[in-house]
Structure formats: C-alpha cells, structure tokens
Structure 1
Amino acid sequence: MEQIHFYHALKVVDEVCMGCTHCMNVCPTAAIRVKNGTADINKNACVDCGECLKACPVNAIIVEQDDFTQIFNYKQRVALLPTVLLGQFPDDVSEVQIYNEIKDLGFTHVYEVDGAVDVLIDSTKKFMHKHHQERPFISSFCPAIVRLIQVKFPALVDNIIQLKPVIDISAQFYRKKLQDKGYAQKEIGIFYVTPCAAKIAAVKSPVGEEKSLIDGVINMDFIYNKVLLSIKNSKKETKKYPENIHMSRRSIGWTLTAGEASRYSGRCLAIDEIHNVIEVLEKLENEEITDVDFLELRACDHSCAGGVLAAENRFLAIERLRKRAAWYHRNKPMIMPEREIDLYKTYLQENIGINKVEPRSILSLDSDMMVAMKKMKKINRIMKVLPGIDCGACGAPRCQALAKDVVQGKAKMTQCVFLQKMLTKEGLISPQESFDISEDTWGKSRFEKKNLNDH
C-alpha cells in the first residue's frame, strides 16, 4: 500500500536533469529511478540525506528553503544557529562579528542550539537508566537517520531515544524565554539555520511530534555567504554582542562525530556517513553486533561538518571548532543567569519527550502476509531471468529493485536491455518496440540523431 509521504527538501529540476544515474546509484534507500530521461524520487523512500545532491554533476537537484523575508512577519525574530556554522568562517572572523552580522540581517535574537546540550545529556542518562532493557539506544539527533530507520530498519524504531534533539529543545527554550518577558506566541518567530536538507524535512513534517517548534528553515550556505560578504565589505567597528553566549567544550563538539557517544558510559559507538550507518544497522539486525549500549549515528561524513549545505572543507571546520572548544574550556567566559538555569532544570526537562517513532517500511510488499509472500516468490522467479549485473540501464539501480518494481506494478521486465535483446532475437518484440521502451526510460532527446561534425 502506498503511504502518505514525508515532506522533502530535495527537489529535481527536470529541465536541468540529464538522467545520468549518478544520483540513482548513490541513493542509500534505492529511492531514485530514471523515467523519461529524468530522475524521479520515491517520496516514501527518500530520507533527505543529500547523497544525490552531492553526486549530481549538473546541479539538477536542489534544496528548497523558506523565503527569508518571512522572518519579518514576527516582532521577535530568533535565529537558531548550529555551532558548526561558526566553524565555516576564517580564523580572523570572530563569533561576535558573526552574531552581529546575523542580527543586522534582521534577526532580533541569535542563539546557538548546542547550548542546550547539557539538559539533553542529563535527560538522556535518565531515559537510558529507566528503559535499560531497550538497548542499544539510538540517538534521535540526525533526522535522516531517524527516517532511514523508519523506512529501512523498522524493527529498530523502538530503540530510538524518545527525546527532542537540541534544535527543538533550544526552540522551546527561547520561545518560553520570550513569552516570560511578555511577548505573545504569534509575535515570536523561530528560524533554524540548517547545514543539511534532512533538518528542513524534519521541521516541515516532524517525527514524534505533531507540530514543529520551529517556524522556518534557512540554508546555512545562504547565511554564510551573506554574513561573510558583509564582514569583508564592512568598515564599521565590531560591536559587543549584547547577549551572553553560553557554550562549553562538550556543547561545541556536540555536532561532530563522537560528540554524543563520548558523553555516556558503557559501549558507545559513533558512526558517520550514511552507507557506514547502514552497514552497522544491518549487522545489528542480524545480531552480528551485540552488547552495545548507545549508537550515535550521523548521515553525513564527519557529521554536521560534512553537511551538504556546508561551505567550508569539513576538516578545516572541525579544526576551528576544536580550537574554539579548547578556548571555552580554558576561559569559561560566560555563566548562564540563575533564572535561565531554573528554566532548563524545570520547564525543559519536563517537556523534552517525544512520541514513539512509528515505522514506515519500504520493505513490505503488501499489508497482507499471504500476498506479500506470493510477491516475494515472484521476485525470486524474476531474478532468475534478469542478468544480475546491476547495470542500471533499465532506470532502476539494481536488478533486485527492478524485480520489486515489476511485482508492485511500477515497471515492466522488458525495461531490462538484456531481455529486450533476447526477445527481439526471438521475434517476440519488434526492434521498434524495443526502441520505444528505451525512449520511455531515457527520454526521446537521448536518441535524437546528432551531427558529430558539430562536436
């Protein structure tokens, strides 16, 4: 049965797409097919990891973001920053400059979401102690991984820790902070500056919550370029940022690989890059990995420093963040006011939970077990006929994917070019019919006669 799909930030620009299969071949959930010469994304299988965006040679895959001007619909405009944003800037650009330039863009408040790490660590320890029988615990930090587990490893959804990630905790904190100052709910707009597409999708259709605590999402590369250009062109004196920045070594390193896993006791593993994550989850399902207490799983290579919307080389960004963390550890420049500590300890910890994450498996062939078993047998029969070389010429990434599409009524066996040749040789289909099938997959323009003398 087709399910209602997630919101997706990744979009294919059909006019630009050349149907080259690069995206199809790197997709970790086999969500992409080539149809009529362009990439087509299965919205129920896509997890917005961004692998397709990185692989596209013609920039035909884009990340949609909210219109920046919508921030001005609110009297109080809060920019929630991932700490990794500050790692994008050259060493001679200070955090005070970055904060001030973001405010000059139109925000009234700027807050780094990883400042909420301490309350999450405490709550996570309590959660793991209370639910110790549900090991291994899987972090809810990365929305691409949460969706990956929903669609590809549904048996593991109960292992996901039912607590808000830091961006939601920070949004909740700052909204409450402004409400306590007398501002109405409708006057407050919370906007997250994201290093990845998955967090955009998570805000638009949150998992474990009915409604997102965030009002809009802005691409990190957009903010980075705006701020850096303004700093380079500015001759004004750097003003002191009027609000305290409450960061620590562990909060600054939270978005980096092992930022979470290093904070908990027991056997804790930190795995980044989505294909590596899939390999570990498969071993976990097959019980090849046992006695694990906590899994920190991140879709991007080197975690958020390798996000698809990051502007800087991930290794340089990591180095800058580690330098910043070491400086904060030595100097401890700012202490959180007592009233905010009370807010953290009471309101946030009481409202940090999320609902159970529900599976949305793409592996199920049918809701009826008997029908699903019949379909599986049919897939096995089809696989005996297909060549098994996973060439992708049928418009599917692998022969197994084509066989499943055929059983689900989404494709035909004759899309396989090897079968086309065999059927044509036997006189079961005409050369024109074979040609028409290829046109349906790769588009008519792919087969237009080209004058080689023009090249």
Structure 2
Amino acid sequence: MSSNFHSVVLKDDICIGCTNCIRKCPTQAIRVRNGKARITEVKCIDCGECIRKCPEHAKDSVSDSLDNIKPYKYKIALPAPSFYSQFGSENDPGKILAALKAVGFDEIFEVTRAADIYTEYTKKILETSDKRPLLSSSCPVVVRLIRVRFPNLINHILPIESPMEIAATIARKETCKKLGLLPSDIGIFFISPCPSKVTSVKNPIGSKKSSVDGVISFKEIHPFIVRNLELELEPLPYYLSGTGIGWAKAGGETSALGIEDYICVDGIENVINILDNIEDGRLTGIRFAELLSCTNGCVGGVLAIESPFIAKNRIRRLSEKYLSNTPKQDYDLSDDEISLNEEITPIKNNVFGNDVVEAMKKMAECMKINRQLPRLDCGACGSPSCQTMAEDIVLGQTNLDDCMVLFKKKFEEQSKEEQSR
C-alpha cells in the first residue's frame, strides 16, 4: 500500500474555503487555494481534527463498510475497548457484543485482552530500558506525529505492536487452530472510533503488513447495533478485566502499569507541547508517557457517537467494577509477534527540497518575504500562518496579494494617489 494513503479526505463539492480547518490543523497540513481546502499529504497525521472543526462537514474519513466482511468464510470483529461506552449504561458489554455479532460476524475477540498483554510487555521493557521517557505506541496519530515533527524521539517509542494488531494476530492463530481454516479464509475487522486506525492498517508503521483486514467505524456500525439491542439476544461472555477496559479512557494505559513516575497527556495540542518539552530535555524523572491524540482518550475519537465525557464516565464505572480482575491468558505468541520488527523512520518534509544550496537560497528568500508580512497569522490568505505563507510564496503556490492586510494597505495607498491627482 502507498505510504501516501490517508483516511481523512476532503469533499470538494461541499468545501466553501472558509479556512476553519487550516487554523485547527496541528501540523499545518491544510491550505485553501482557489476557494477549496487542500491537504499536504506528507504533513497529515490523520488525527481528524479537521473533521471535528469543519462547519460544512466537508471533511470525512474513509473506512470499510459492513459489505466488506462478506467475502470471508469466517468473520471476526475486534471491538475497541471504547466501544462499550457508546450504547447507554443500561447495556452491559455482554449484550453489546451479542448485538455486534448479530450484525454478521462469526466471532468477537475483544481488544481489551490484547491491551493487558501490551501492558505486561511494557512492564518488561520498562525494567531494562534506559530511555526516559518511553512513549506509548498505541495511538497511531501520536506515532505519525513523532515521525513528522519529532523524529529525534522515534527511538523512545515502545517497540510493541498496538493492542489492535496483537488482538488480530491472536484471533487469526486461534481460529486457524480451532477450525482448521486457512489464514486467508478469516476476515478480521477492527471496530474503531479513530480514522488513523484505517491508515495504520493500510500503511502499517513498524511492520510490513497489518494483521487486520479492515476497519469499520463506530459511526458506520452504530445504527445496526442499536437495532440489534432491541432484540432478545443472549448476552455473550466477555473479558472481565478492569485494566483492559480502562484503556478506553485517558490514563487507562498508565494506570494498568502500576507505576508512579509517568504522565498521561490527551488532546493533540497538549501532546505537541509535551513532546516539545521532552525533545528539549525539559521533562525529567518520567519513565513513561501515555500520549493520546483525542481529548479524554479513545472515547473522544472523531468517529465515536457518544459525548466523550459521558463515554469516559461509563468506562470509568465499568473499569472500576472489574478493577481487581485481570483474567489469566495463555496464548501461543512469540516475542516476534508482539514486537515491532521494522524500523520506524522519519517522514521527511524538506520544504525546499533536498538540494542544500538551493534550499538555503529559498530559505533566505522566505525570511525576506516573512519580514514584509504582518505576522498576524489570520489565515485569510489560505495559509495557516505568515511563516507558511512566505514558504508557499517561495514555492510558487501563492503571492503577496493574497495577504488581505497587505492588499488592503496597497489598495488604500493607490486610492490616495488617485485622489491626489
């Protein structure tokens, strides 16, 4: 799959070029040109903030539909821990899982199981690693953000597959062993609150191929689950782990580790600030950092339905109910199947190209242009800041007349000249 794949997409026919998205994009990946928004793919981290903020709903996420499960002989759903929070407190996980299975799946394998496995491997790495702090690899938005903006911190990322990937590996192996099926007979679909999970499946980080066959969003599957919850379905047994369920909210991963010298940061702007501090050596005495793109954690995912605050409270209560439980698991997994086996590389974004001499000339030109700009960072020009506008001018993507402040000043001066004649 192309490394340029992105799950966040723009709808040209709906976009009105309002510039809301360019001000909210945390990596300055969006421009508005000729009245339409455009994404600079190399900078996009698929966080979905533009989806949240677009008043015209001109941003969307690509994911799989339920029809995509049909070609497989055996279909397995991997519900994210946050899935339990989307259907009201009167519906316990067993009932929700039964409703999910009735959509057309043969089996459910909860990602909460893999979350506990991830926790145990993290504990082992913490005992031996001299990296401070280690950074969780569970949020694909944060991993991509580090590759784009903080490449010096790549070696701080935990070299562990995400719980989603671990769950898929286990589910496929166990089903092949139990039913004698070929791996290709089995379709494994993650049920996701997050557009970046689609990207991480299509274009995996730290491995050659994802163990997941597709990603279905909460929004896509929600109405089918609501309909099935009205049926008299026998609740399914579910994995009674308070720590695993707690992963759905911010702080769940670090709470499961049972350590004190950690931080948990949620919300993409807060994550960027803390990564700045880590990179500059201003954060000391911390062994581990749980960094989550969405406010409140995965319950606040862009593709979730429920209010993140209500969802977080439901997860808190459910997690506390089973907090003393961590069921024993015995799966045939090797370290190679848990660990990332491919190098995580930086995503290079050399604005002015790889030719150093030419890039320095363009940088000097950029600085000269930037001194002419008002430095208001209003975004009216279609670039997210005056600095990025200067870069875009050098690259030939816009010109000084697109700056509303300078254009107004120029117009006023011309009017005065005409009146004085």
Question: Normalised by the size of structure 1, how large is the TM-score?
Answer: 0.85
Q: Which residue is equivalent to 1:437?
A: none
Percent identity reads 35
Instruction: Give the alignment of 1:16-95 within 5 angstroms.
Output: 16-95=14-93
Residue segments in structure 2 that go unaligned for 5+ positions in a row: 415-421
Alignment equivalent of 1:205, drawn from 200, 203, 206: 203
Helix, strand or coil: the match of 1:341?
coil
Equivalent residue runs for 1:131-210 within 5 Å: 131-132=129-130, 134-181=131-178, 182-210=180-208
Q: 1:283 maps to which residue? A: 277
Relative to structure 1, is the Cα distance of residues 139 and 376 closer, same or farther in structure 2, using a 3 angstrom cutoff? same
Deviation readout 1:67-111 (Å, 9 max, x if unpaired): 321211111100000111111111222322211121111100112
| Partner SS state of residue 70, structure 2 | helix
For residues 111 and 361 of structure 1, what CA distance do their matches in structure 2 show? 37
What's 1:341 paired with?
Answer: 330
Partner secondary structure for residue 162 of structure 1:
coil
Superimposed CA distance per residue, residues 35-94 of structure 1 (whole angstroms, 9 cap, x where no aligned partner):
111111111111111111111111111111113212111111000001111111112223
CA contact (8 A) 1:47 1:148 kept: yes
Query: Which deviates the most, 143-152 or 350-359?
Result: 350-359
Worse overlay, 142-151 or 399-408? 399-408
Distance change (3 Å), C-alpha of 1:269 and 1:329: closer
**Partner residue of 2:234?**
239
Q: Which residue of 2 aligns with 1:321?
A: 315
From 373, 385, 393, give the equivalent of 2:360. 373
CA apart distance, 1:295:
1.1
| Unaligned ranges ≥5, structure 1 | 428-455
2:225 to 220, 224, 227: 227
Post-superposition shift, 1:207?
A: 0.9
Give the drift of 1:213: 0.8
**1:353 corresponds to:** 339
One-letter code of the match for 2:234? K
Distance 1:174 1:342 in 2: 10
TM-score w.r.t. length of structure 2: 0.92
What pairs with 1:99-118 in structure 2 (closer than 5 Å)? Answer: 99-118=97-116
Deviating beyond 6 angstroms after TM superposition, the runs of 4 or more aligned structure 1 residues are none
Q: Given residue 319 of structure 1, which amino acid in structure 2 is its aligned partner?
A: N
Deviation, 1:370, is 3.5
Deviations 1:8-29 (A, max 9, x none): 1111111111111111110000
Amino acid at match of 2:272: I
Q: How many residues align?
A: 411
Q: Does 1:298 find its partner at 2:292?
A: yes
Offset at residue 363 of structure 1 (A) = 5.8
Match of 2:9 among 8, 11, 33: 11
Amino acid at match of 1:294: F
| Cα displacement (A) at 1:264 | 5.2
Mapped to 1, the partners of 2:129 and 2:278 lie a distance apart of 19
Bigger CA drift: 223-232 or 156-165?
A: 223-232
Partner amino acid for 1:252?
I
